[in-house]
Each structure stands twice: as C-alpha cells, then as structure tokens.
C-alpha cells in the first residue's frame, strides 16, 4: 500500500499548474483516496502522471479519455468532489 513517504509524494503530485485541477485533486486525495482499494489507488497514481492539458480536457469534458480505467477514475473524482 501507500506508506507515509509515497502518500506525501502523491499529495505533492496533486498540486498542478492549473487551479482547475488543484481544486479537483487536492480535496479528493485528502478525503477520498484512502477509501479506494489498492487497484484504484494505483489507477489514481497513474492518472497523476498525465499531462495537465490532457487532464484539463478530460475533466472539463472537452475530450474523452480513451483509457477506460482512467475514465472511470475521472468520473469517480468528479462525483466525489461535485464540481
């Protein structure tokens, strides 16, 4: 699972260059990440490796995400954060 150091790096990765992404990721990692099972935690971690322009387009609904696991995680975050 995620030890303290790895979780710290994950929190740091949630700080993006775009405020629109910060307001999605930061509340989710603080209030929803721990509730995910290990598989979905790894998917979230993988989502954070994507480029900001792609993330922005996916979260704002401008472009569909082709990766089904990431798409499901995006939908989960949007429901959870209720933006």
Extents of the domains making up the chain? 4-81
**Residue 83 has what pLDDT?**
52
- What mean pLDDT do residues 34-46 have? 96
- What mean pLDDT do residues 47-65 have? 97
Residue of 79, 3, 15, 78 whose CA lies nearest to 41: 3
Which tokens sit at 18?
């775009």
d(Cα 42, Cα 15) in Å, to the nearest integer?
Answer: 18
- What mean pLDDT do residues 42-64 have? 97
Return the CATH architecture of domain 4-81: Orthogonal Bundle (1.10)
| pTM of the predicted model over 0.85 | yes
Could you tell me the end-to-end alpha-carbon distance of the chain, in angstroms, rounded to an integer?
28
Contact 21, 52 (CB under 8 A): yes
**Residue 8 has what pLDDT?**
93
**Residue 81 has what pLDDT?**
84
């Amino acid at each position: 699972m995620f030890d303290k150091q790895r979780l710290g790096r994950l929190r740091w990765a949630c700080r993006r260059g775009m405020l629109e992404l910060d307001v999605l990721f930061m509340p989710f990692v603080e209030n929803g990440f721990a509730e995910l099972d290990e598989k979905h935690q790894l998917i979230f971690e993988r989502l954070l490796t994507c480029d900001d322009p792609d993330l922005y387009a996916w979260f704002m609904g401008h472009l569909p995400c082709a990766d089904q696991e990431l798409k499901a995680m995006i939908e989960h975050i949007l429901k959870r954060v209720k933006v």
